[in-house]
Amino acid sequence: MNLESLLVEVVNGSPVIIWATGFMGPSFVSATWNIDGTRVDWHSNEHCMVLYGYDKNKQVVKVADPLSGCVEYPLNLFERRFKEMYMQSVIIKY
């Protein structure tokens, strides 16, 4: 799902586990394989956190990050790192 769709889930009360990068730093390719003629890159600096809120006026997202606690990251940086990790997420519905 794209980030806008995930933010709707958050508004509806569902926290979202997302894959981004540690401390929102850049990812980098640390290994590459060729599988049946297709290049597969392994991106390092991968990191998971829980997206639980955002503030469109301040242009920030709020995440529970196991490395740094509950923090805010700039929305545009968060989206860039989320896309680097192929927009992977798990929506928690309870």
pTM assigned to the model: 0.88
Tell me the β-bridge partners of 55.
60
Q: Which of 94, 78, 92 is nearest to 3 (CA)?
A: 78
Q: What is the mean pLDDT of the chain?
A: 95
Helices (H), 18-88: 75-84
Label the pairing between strands 89-91 and 16-21: antiparallel
- Look at residue 3 and tell me whether its pLDDT is greater than 90: yes
Q: What is the pLDDT of residues 24-70, one digit of tens each?
A: 999 999 999 999 999 999 989 999 999 999 999 999 999 999 999 99
d(CA 45, CA 43): 7
**Is residue 77 very low, low, confident or very high in pLDDT (cuts 50, 70, 90)?**
very high
Looking at domain 3-91, its CATH architecture is Alpha-Beta Complex (3.90)
Q: Which of 52, 49, 53 is nearest to 23 (CA)?
A: 49
**Is residue 94 very low, low, confident or very high in pLDDT (cuts 50, 70, 90)?**
confident
pLDDT at 75: 97
List the domain boundaries for the chain: 3-91
Q: Which of 42, 46, 45, 40 is nearest to 31 (CA)?
A: 42
